[in-house]
Structure formats: C-alpha cells, structure tokens
Amino acid sequence: MSRVREAAVAGTFYPGDRRGLRAAVDSYFAIVEPSALGAKAIIAPHAGYSYSGPTAAHAFASLAPAEERIRRVVLLGPSHFVPFRGLATSGAEVFSTPLGELPIDRASEEMIAGLEQVRCMPEAHDREHCLEVELPFLQAPLSGFQIVPLVVGEASPAEVAEVLDLLWGGPETVVVVSSDLSHFHDSATARRLDEATCETIEALDRFDLNADQACGCRAINGLLLAAHRRGMRVTTLDLRNSGDTAGPRDRVVGYGAWAFTES
C-alpha cells in the first residue's frame, strides 16, 4: 500500500472541502493581473489563506505562461516543528489535499538521496504546513505533474543550491520556495524590515538572510545562490503583511511574492 501524506491543516489554514477550497483559490487568482513572466522559480508565503492568499496568488500566477509544460515542482520550506540538519524528503508516495492526490517524483528523490545533507525524515513532514498550503495553488491551474517536497532544516546556501542544481531540469521543472517574512512587529516596523529583505532578494548577490527576516531563510538563500550563478532576473510581485488583509496591525506577519526568470 502506498504511503499517503495526509493533509494536516485542511480546515484550518484553508477550506477543508474540495468545493470551498477550489472557490477560495480561484477567488485569489481572480484578483491578480495576468502574467507574462513564465517563472522558473517563485517565493510564496505559507500562512492561512485569509492572511496570505492574495500574496500567494501573485506568486503562483507568474507560472501561468509555463503551465502546459510543467511536469515537476520542487518545493522547499522551513521546518517549524522538528529541528534537524540538512534537507528532508518525506518517504511518502503521494501528498493529499482536498483537491486530490499529488504523486511524489521518486526518481528525483533518488537523484539527491546520495547527498550528505539529504535524509528521509517523514516526521519533518507529517505536521508541517509550509509545503502543504502551496499545493492547492498548484493543483487548481495545473495537471499531470509530480512534486518533490523538501523540508529544509539547518542547511547552508551551498547545500540547498547543490540540491537545486541536481533538480533544476529544463522548462518542465519549476521551484517553489515557501516562506513568510518578519513576525510579530507592528505594521510600520514590519513594512520597513520586509522592504529591506525585498532589497536583498532583488539584488541576487547576497545569501545571508536570517530567521528574523524570513522563516524560510535557508531555502531562500539557497535559491538566491542558485539564481545568482545562473544570471537570473527576479521580479517583486507583492509585498504586504497580515495587517493589510485579515489581522490587527499591532502584531503582524509579513508576506512577499517573487518570480525568478531565466535570461
């Protein structure tokens, strides 16, 4: 019997029923202008949809011109519950959401399994929301693709970039890095901090973001290094915080969306 990684936050971070979830994702995509970018990689937030859904839609909409050729999605995000060294595969064969099951690209996992920093660690995935919440934004517009879900623990930019290099592929592959930005400042302070983080991402020549700037800093730093080596371009698509969407303004979480395109 195949091992299914069941949805852990359906009904809390996003609607738990198929119809409600599809309607929610479609509503967020509906407020985003059509994109011509055809991004190779994106950074998207991973909070509850009422908070970060609009920003996430900006990121995923940038994949639209490439939708018909996407067959593999590499997902990286931070470990919120289990401390460990390196990057963790799930040991699962499929990930499930209310929109259906997504198969794991086992050949890709085998490709990186020999790297010292990669381990199979189901417990890093079982409760983790950072990758799960991105999946419906892929399932709504795409079909016929497999995923390579990786939770990132303590890992250097070079270690993350090495994994990305092996999985980079061609136009059939896209990379999704899952990360929120600053946490629990007032809105004005968060905006200032997140704008500085945005400048670092846009510069594409520094790989030193820390956890105070972005919870997914290690995955972002690895993507920035890989993108820098390839001479990629980065476009900021959205930058806001929970005070702009569904929360109070005295204690907010920052969200950003970026698209990386190849020259």
% of residues, the chain, pLDDT over 70: 99
| Bridge partners, 44 (sequence order) | 178
> What per-residue confidence (pLDDT) applies to 247?
85
d(CA 184, CA 230): 35
pTM of the complete model beyond 0.95: yes
What does the pLDDT look like over 13-32, one tens digit per residue? 999 999 999 999 999 999 99
118-151 pLDDT, tens per residue? 999 999 999 999 999 999 999 999 999 999 999 9
Kindly give the pairing relationship between strand 94-97 and strand 100-103.
Answer: antiparallel
Q: Tokens representing 231?
A: 């001479």
- Give the start-to-end residue ranges of the domains of the chain: 4-253
Which pLDDT score, from 0 to 100, does residue 2 have?
62
CATH number of 4-253: 3.40.830.10
Region 98-106: mean pLDDT is: 98
Structure confidence by residue, pLDDT tens digits, 209-240: 999 999 999 999 999 999 999 999 999 999 99
pLDDT at 45 exceeding the cut of 70: yes
Q: Helices 217-229 & 157-167, crossing angle to 10 degrees? A: 60
Residue 1, pLDDT above cutoff 80: no
Token digits of residue 115:
């790297």
Task: Name the more confident of 1 and 161.
Answer: 161
Per-residue pLDDT, 263: 80
